[in-house]
Amino acid sequence: MTLISLEEDKKTIASRFRKATNFAFLDEGQIFIKENPHKTSKSKEFFEYFNTLNIKTIYLKELGYKTFLKLESLGVEVYFVQEATRYNKIKPNELLRIDASNAEEFCSLGHHKK
């Protein structure tokens, strides 16, 4: 299943993954949107919840390096959406795959470089 973090309007791709108001879940051509119940939770509680969702792929705008490392340890593929602002405008060929070779460069949120 693929997850996209969304703003309150349930259409705009959120600028923050863990603090997103809603999540869009894409599964075999179906899409459903659910409120993020852990947008204010600490990291441990958020990832305990996240781990129950069976997410294999995430499309997002920005991410912190430590959060990337946690997602990577869970086996989740991370893609940055660079062109689209709404989830229904995402084009797979415009996504940037984030992996160990480029994560420190592109995962700029957080405090990992201090």
Q: How far is CA 68 from CA 10, 39, 44, 76, 86, in A?
A: 23, 17, 14, 9, 22
Domain boundaries, the chain: 2-106
Residue range 2-106 forms a domain whose CATH class is: alpha beta
User: Would you state the pLDDT for residue 73?
Assistant: 94
pTM of the model: 0.88
Rounded-to-integer distance, Cα 114 and Cα 97, Å: 25
11 near 20, Cβ under 8 Å?
no
Pairing between β-strand 95-98 and β-strand 77-81 as defined by DSSP bridges: antiparallel
Digit-coded pLDDT (tens) for 34-89: 999 998 989 899 999 998 999 999 999 989 999 999 999 999 999 999 889 999 99
Rg (CA), the chain: 13
